[in-house]
Structure 1
Amino acid sequence: MPLTIAIQPDDYTNPATGREDASSPRWAECLRAAGHEVRWVDVFRPDILEQLRGCHGFMWRHAHLSDHRQIARRLLPVIERDLGLPVYPDQNTCWHYDDKIAQAYLFQAHGIPCPRTWVWFNRELAVQWAQNEARYPLVLKLASGAGSTNVKLITGAYDAVAEIDRLFTHGTIALSVEPWAEGRWQIKGWRNRLRAALRLALKGAAPVAPPCTHYAWERQKNYALFQEFLPGNAWDTRVTVIGNRAFGFRRFNREGDFRASGSGRIDHDPSQIDPRFIGLTFAIASKLKMQSCAIDGLWRGEEPVVAEITYTYVSYAVHDCPGHWELQGGPEDGALTWVAGHMWPEEAQVQDFLVRLQRRWA
């Protein structure tokens, strides 16, 4: 049965490398090759629900961008739950996306091994803990952010209290600025100020505020999230599970830094991936019923733990893997089979989504 799948274009370009990494063109190519119709839609228009009329499913790779976050959290539950359309990503897969506080509670509820985490919503209690009970160093994180931007090492109580005070007063939109972005933002700032001055001088018009495109669409404040620091991790292990497929690579830390995310220093040698991380990712995807799940895996001594999870990731980093593992059976007792060859994650996502669609509309 030919199906009509609505797709919101993502037009994503990796800001650190400038390399195009959009999922929507690959989705469309795979769907058309399978004999299905693609309908391009625009979630930024007020008639989005009308645009979806007559469609059998909806796909949108929404990212950390401010406008994406605002729309996705409000629109996607309605499409899935009230219109009854299969969605990629569905709510099980993405409701906790880019929300480290939600993930902390989720990990605890499901017994997922992770660094010990403290989430504070009371300034006085947070300060008391930081001064009297905390053991340093600790890792401070904002709830949102990608590429290690909102991750900071805290070495003592003085710094911890300063950050707590900042978060419980005026808040912040970022803990740090990436080296690749700092120069761009400075240049953009000077250009905006020059344009505003010219506009005021020539037209007598007040400057227009530029749209906010920062990762955080709201100022981060009135909470503090600290996480156990795990020494001895020169890299993290990124395992991406899509259905019964697992792709793995290692990401080495930045020079003189403890953070690996966004470093671009990737090792795709599958022999270096500890199978315990593969099994752990399959178990998490199964427990949380996620269509797609990527973990940032670390070691706490000899124990593999998960720092964060995400439903979306850099597609070409997954494609660059020389192959993937396929799980036959369940996460606990299934067998892993190595399948050589490169595969775009969008291929796997479409294959699995079509199975769900055909089951829904049979």
Structure 2
Amino acid sequence: MIAIEQQDSGFHRYWVAYCLRKGIPFKRVDCYRSDIVEQLRGCDALMWHFSHQDYRDMLFARQLILSLAAGGMKVFPDPATSWHFDDKVGQKYLLEAVGAPLVPTWLFYTEREALAWSDATRFPKVFKLRGGSGASNVMLARTRSEARRLIRRAFGRGFSPRRAWADLKERWRKYRLGKTGAADLLKGFGRLLLPSDFDRLHPREKGYAYFQEFIPGNTFDVRVVVVGNRACALRRNVRRNDFRASGSGEIVYDRAAIDPRCVEEAFRINRRLGAQCLAYDFVFDTQNRPLIVEISYGFTAPAYEKCDGYWLGDMTWHAGSPALCDWMIEDLLDTLQNRREASENDNVPKPETRPI
């Protein structure tokens, strides 16, 4: 029996549809209830697409997943896939530890060290908060004075985890491009006057300064999503008069636009991490070498249904729309089946052997 969180957002509706289509027994559960562990009695696995946009999820989702895994339950996402979700600080150390080609990144935990670094380095540099998607918490420090201002704020009053004015400007940009509607734009205006629960209850970001190297000349990034032994990819063009590609909505699906080195590197790192599913964002350095900007197990699934095919781990190409969410549940079912078979083999009586 598979337990699936009762929300219909994100991956959940795909998982439910798959189970109904294939006749897979499943149960809807409420991960936000205090008795979630009791709800899971009799279940073999839990699937929960928890979100960085819900303060509750960021408060306890990873802890619940780690606890269930420690108790022997299979989970998606598992700890190797999710502990670093929406945490660029954690991703820096993880990617460096496994030898991934990470964009040069600097982290400081005191204002004095950060300011000293700013006096010795060259600009521009990219300043980021540890959380946020769609480039929402990404700022370009063009000069030393801009970097020092960001550093002082990082060790002073800090930053709201979601910047209302920046969010409204992004909604307006997408509205003008016809990529969102009036209701979404009005919601952005409303957030200026009435903060969401996330804005009110999520702690402010402070006490650290995170910078990445700014690499000029990148007019797009490459997003590769790896699910088990399969991967698809797309290209995201940067916004007009900007340097950020994530969340731009300007997507190129042509396979010919994808540098295969990005796919190969994503497969390699994913195997090293032992992750069930991860999206890798790549840019290219001045020698045209692919570098990872960040990683995430979560993404907007419908955006990838327009890809014209996918790769297997040996880089064999298969035409057709990727079924990313189906792959997630199929891989989990395979894991459960392998565990059952291993358990049955352990219980088979071994033939008695006698010394010769």
Give the TM-score, by structure 2 length: 0.87
Match of 2:344 in 1: none
Q: Which amino acid aligns with 2:203?
A: E
Q: Distance in 1 between matches of 2:6 and 2:275?
A: 22
Q: Where does 1:42-191 land on structure 2 (aligned, <5 Å)? A: 42-64=30-52, 65-82=54-71, 84-130=72-118, 132-173=119-160, 174=162, 177-178=166-167, 179-180=170-171, 183-190=186-193
Q: Distance in 2 between matches of 1:339 and 1:157?
A: 48
How has the CA–CA distance of structure 1 residues 182 and 161 changed in structure 2, closer, same or farther, with 3 Å as cutoff?
A: farther
What CA deviation, in whole Å up to 9, does each residue of 1:20-40 have, x standing for no partner?
xx3112112212333321100
Is the contact between residue 144 and residue 216 of structure 1 (CA under 8 Å) also seen in structure 2?
A: no
Root mean square deviation, CA, Å: 1.7
Moved more, 275-284 or 216-225: 216-225
Match of 1:7 in 2: 4
Q: Which amino acid aligns with 2:67?
A: V
Is the contact between residue 144 and residue 215 of structure 1 (CA under 8 Å) also seen in structure 2?
A: no
Unaligned runs of 5+ in 2: 172-183, 342-356
Match of 1:332 in 2: none
Q: Where does 1:239-258 land on structure 2 (aligned, <5 Å)? A: 239-258=224-243
What CA deviation, in whole Å up to 9, does each residue of 1:296-339 have, x standing for no partner?
11001221110001111110111110111112xxxxxxx32211
Give the TM-score, by structure 1 length: 0.85
Residue 75 of structure 1, CA deviation? 1.0
What CA deviation, in whole Å up to 9, does each residue of 1:146-169 have, x standing for no partner?
000000000111111111111101
Identical counterparts, % of pairs: 37
Matched position secondary structure for 1:152: strand
What CA deviation, in whole Å up to 9, does each residue of 1:79-103 have, x standing for no partner?
1112x10000000001001000111
How has the CA–CA distance of structure 1 residues 162 and 189 changed in structure 2, closer, same or farther, with 3 Å as cutoff?
A: closer
Matched position secondary structure for 1:305: strand
Q: Where does 1:264-303 land on structure 2 (aligned, <5 Å)? A: 264-301=249-286, 302-303=288-289
Is the contact between residue 62 and residue 79 of structure 2 (CA under 8 Å) also seen in structure 1?
A: no
Is the contact between residue 120 and residue 224 of structure 1 (CA under 8 Å) also seen in structure 2?
A: yes
Q: Which amino acid aligns with 2:213?
A: E
Q: Which amino acid aligns with 2:292?
A: V
Is the contact between residue 219 and residue 237 of structure 2 (CA under 8 Å) also seen in structure 1?
A: yes
Residue 9 of structure 1, CA deviation? 3.1
Unaligned runs of 5+ in 1: 13-21, 193-209, 328-334
Segments of 4+ in structure 1 off by > 4 A? none
